[in-house]
Amino acid sequence: MAVSRNWVCPHCDRPQTIIDQQLSVKHHRLIILESKYTNPGITAIAMACSNLSCRELTLKVSFGEGEWRSGGEFVVPKAIHKFDLMPAFSFRAQPAYIPAALREDYEEACKIRDLSPKASATLARRCLQGMIRDFCGIAKATLDQEIKELRKKLDDRTAPSGVTHESLDAIDAVRKVGNIGAHMEKDVDLIVGIEPGEAQMLIGLIEMLFREWYVERHDRTNRLATITALAEEKKKTIEELKAGL
């Protein structure tokens, strides 16, 4: 199984380029002759994070049909089943300045995405509603009404800074897929049937909005604080120079 050298650590979310010392790929042939698989084998992949404050291991195992390379090496070129062992589920670590309730709903939605897409989508919708209530200060009876109100605020130029037409268009695009839009007209806590891929689509939307709303607001505030501090320092220097004249 090929491993991409450009990698984002799932524990700390730090992008990095993997070097040989951080990576172990081992193929193992299963000595089982009586099965429907030809040369069944497993591949164990371990990756170490180079971020000094993380240094976690990521461990994945995959199962597939193997073959022998010309040198006699046994490899499993294509996975039939993949298993994430460490971490046991994949989600992007979100910064602590995003409200804990939203992060918890998001992480839980990721954890159960494959086991129970219906419950995962329910949590993702609740998280989306929580974001619109917290970040945009809009609370209505249904998520659908809240999104419509946010669109109105955006058109009236009264939406919070960071909320763009692009982010609203992304919400609307996801709403048009399968049953997601219909579910937004119901109570967010109601577990309703979904179509394949809907849970992942909602999770992707939440990750995008975390980034565009919370992370960018945090970065903007930090940049402003740096500029203000710099301006204060310059002002002080000028005053000191003037006093010295």
Q: Name the site residues for Zn ion (rule: CB under 5 A).
A: 9, 11-12, 49, 51, 54
CB of 222: closest distance to Zn ion in angstroms? 22
Cβ partners under 8 Å of residue 26, min gap 6: 43, 44
The residue whose two tokens read 């460490």 is 86
- Cβ pair 67, 37 in contact under 8 A: no
Give 48 or 168: the residue with its C-beta nearer to Zn ion: 48
Nearest distance from C-beta of residue 4 to Zn ion, angstroms = 16
State in angstroms the smallest separation of the CB of 21 from Zn ion. 15
Report the alpha-carbon distance of residue 198 to residue 173 in Å, rounded. 12
Torsion of CA 185, 188, 194, 198, to 10 degrees: 100
When the beta carbons of 92 and 175 are compared against Zn ion, the nearer one is: 92
Which one, 103 or 126, has the nearer CB to Zn ion?
Answer: 103
**Residue closer to Zn ion, measured from CB, 21 or 70:** 21
Q: Distance between CA 45 and CA 81 in Å, rounded?
A: 14
Residue indicated by tokens 């974001």? 131
Shortest distance, CB of residue 16 to Zn ion, whole angstroms? 8
